[in-house]
A = this chain, B = another copy of it.
């Protein structure tokens, strides 16, 4: 990782997201005032300064002007071609050492594509990976890595994702010795696909606490602090978690509305579902507030920061719907990751031997 002074500011893309620049600027100001994180904003200078003025923060935070804005619908190559966007200008500051990390609430695909193009992989890192922290029923969080950056990794890349994910869990979640699970389809020898079978042999030899294979049902139980998978499966799982939480709450609303539990689909019986949900006492009821709080925990806005790890600079992608508080949180995470130098601290351990 490049030699960046730990006091270098976090560069924040003021133009990304559904609520930018107003909420983004407010979040950046919060990060500086409440958490002591140095920040720089990139975007249309006039617009950004007007928002700063509204908060009495002109002169407190530097602004790097950028003519263009990458639309939220742009998810890849198109964004890379825009040389004067707030993304391009912000990532340029990080590449040149004027920024320690980059935060954007732009489209994850666009941010990942631009960052990979402009920053490139850190020394010894084969490919970047996206890390997302998901809250668990155990009360903590599990880092899912890779959630979508590298869709066809080799076993060696997967082994590096495990190391990067463990570093992230240490630095951001404060877990001293993270348990790392490999997402698969069963724990028996020979289970899994070609990729996971070869990755498993590599993971067993790495200097980390390898928990072994975990299954799709383990993602939210807290059985592991880090769950490693390829970027295709990880992205499908991440979106499946969000969609399933939403579906469960919608079905619950329907149940409340109709009182009917009619089975659907010809293979569907009318089982009692005994055991599941047994923690709810007979006198307890879940009101709309409780439903909303649970929805909020898995709403993409709430887990808030996905970190793109393994590049020559830290990149945190906040969800498009982020408001000020989530942006401030993302700035703190970016600052912590930059200071912790995720890649540099792994050193020689990144030199994963090729799989047999």
Contact = CB atoms under 8 A, between A and B. Distances in A.
B266 A173 contact: yes
Number of contact residues on A: which range applies? 35 or more
B329 A296 contact: no
A266 B133 contact: yes
Given A148-B185, A186-B75, A221-B243, A250 B266 contact: no
A137 interface: yes
Please tell me how many copies of the chain the complex holds: 2
Interface string A291-331: 11111111101111100000000000000000101100110
Interface in A239-286: 239-257, 259, 261, 263-274, 276-277, 279-282, 284-286
A302 B264 contact: no
B219 A243 contact: yes
A286 to B, nearest CB: 4
A124 interface: no
Residue from A184, A238, A243 with most neighbouring chain B CB atoms (10 Å): A243
A122 interface: no
A236 B191 CA distance: 12
A14 to B, nearest CB: 19
A204 to B, nearest CB: 20
A172 interface: yes
A205 interface: no
A82 interface: no
B193 A265 contact: no
B267 A329 contact: yes
A46 interface: no
Given A264-B139, A267-B172, A301 B277 contact: no
A265 B151 contact: no
Interface string A123-141: 0000000001111110111
Contacts of A284: 253, 256-257, 287-288
A250 to B, nearest CB: 5
A270 B237 contact: no
A297 B239 CA distance: 20
Interface stretch (A4-12, A48-56, A158-166, A210-218): A210-218
Residue from A75, A255, A281, A297 with most neighbouring chain B CB atoms (10 Å): A297
Q: Which 7 A-B pairs have the closest CB atoms?
A: A273-B296, A141-B265, A216-B239, A217-B243, A216-B240, A261-B293, A276-B295
Interface of A: 75-77, 109, 132-137, 139-141, 148, 151-152, 172-174, 183-186, 188, 190-194, 196, 215-221, 229-233, 235-257, 259, 261, 263-274, 276-277, 279-282, 284-288, 290-299, 301-305, 323, 325-326, 329-330, 332-333, 336
14 contacts: A133-B266, A140-B265, A193-B230, A220-B243, A233-B236, A249-B280, A251-B297, A261-B296, A267-B333, A268-B297, A269-B329, A270-B296, A271-B325, A272-B292
